[in-house]
Amino acid sequence: MADRLYPSHGTGAMNQVELVENEDSIEISSLAPHFAVHKFPWRQVFGYVASLVLTAMAFILVINHVLPVSALVSVVIALAVLQAAVQLGVFMHLRESRGMAWQILVLGLGGFIALCVVAGSIWIMMFKSGVA
């Protein structure tokens, strides 16, 4: 038996729990709750402010017509991709996992489904008059 200690859920009291050294002990110890000192969430504040700024930039560019339409669409798409990266990195904790390969696979599948929905919608709208 190992002499590992980890805190339990509750009012902050430390309970001593012994883990048996076997093939599952590493996984059990990694699942133990970790109570870090709660500090001010600067990273989330930065992500929120960055999202607001990127949204405001796209809104101002579209409202004021500062660019030609083709350039405006490209800039707005670039701002959307940048905002998606901020959202995934800050709020969805994309970089903070041990199983990064699964997250990339699921993210790619979600992107593929979104692309199919958008392409299908555009296809339906383009050929609407031919169907009726």
Burial class of residue 6 (count of CB atoms within 10 Å of its CB; 0-12, 13-18, 19+): middle
Residues with pLDDT less than 50, the chain: 1-2, 6, 8, 10-20
The reported pLDDT for the residue numbered 68 is: 93
Same domain, 5 and 22: yes
Overall domain count for the chain: 3
Same domain, 87 and 118: no
Same domain, 77 and 108: no
pTM of the model: 0.56
Instruction: Look up the domain containing 9 and give its range.
Output: 1-38
DSSP state of 95: T
The reported pLDDT for the residue numbered 13 is: 47
Same domain, 83 and 112: no
Provide the 3-class DSSP secondary structure of residue 15: coil
